Amino acid sequence: MRQFILVLGLMLFVSFSAQVGAVQEKIIGDYSKPLTKVDKANIDFIITTLSEHSTLGLMMYRKQLQEAGNKVDYVHPLRHLGYVFSTPNLAMRTHKIGSVPWKRYAGDFARPLNLAVKQGKLDQSVLDDFSKTVGIDVKILEPYVQRRDWVGFINTLRNQKK
């Protein structure tokens, strides 16, 4: 019975998290546009909530996570990630996020990052600025961008910020 509840919970989490941060074919925001206090608060909420609750426990936060994700949907994905990985408290919290929520969080950046490349909003100057923001040598990040390996890119950010 316990295994059934766990499997059911995971299935529900995966189905709801597919909606969190979902990006349709849209125009990606400009990287040069800074985050607002509200943007930062929403990103803080997302990372803090993901890091403080079990996969099953996150079911109770489904609606709030979805709303927070929708509110920062317009933000350039590297601006979002730059904030997370340049803020020591948030970068540390990423290590507390369970494997299923982390895979979902990291995976949800693939579409917007691909769109940013397609729309010319992830060029060398953006990548150079981003690498300075997060304090990671651009040469470490470039191969992931060239291969469009966004999960590897984000996992590298996480692993470099221990």
> Is residue 85 a part of any domain in this protein?
yes
What is the pLDDT, as a whole number, of residue 27?
87
Within-domain flag for 29:
no
- Which H or E run contains 51? helix 37-52
- Domain membership of residue 148 (yes or no) is yes
For residue 80, tell me if it sits in a domain: yes
Q: What is the pLDDT of residue 35?
A: 97
* CA dist., res. 31 & res. 59, Å (int): 32
Q: Please indicate, yes or no, if residue 25 is contained in any of the structural domains.
A: no
In a domain, 38, yes or no: yes
pTM as predicted: 0.84
Whole-number pLDDT of residue 16: 46
Q: Is residue 42 part of a domain?
A: yes
Provide Rg for the chain, Cα atoms: 16
Q: Which domain holds residue 119?
A: 2-18+34-160
Asked, for residue 71, whether it belongs to a domain, the answer is yes
The angle formed by the CA atoms of residues 116, 117 and 119, to the nearest 5 degrees, is 65
- The stretches in the chain having pLDDT less than 70 are 1-25
Give the Cα separation of 27 and 38 in Å (integer). 21
Domains held by the chain: number: 1
pLDDT for residue 22:
45
Q: Phi/psi at 26 (nearest 5 deg)?
A: -140, 175
* Other CB atoms within 10 A of residue 111 CB: 18
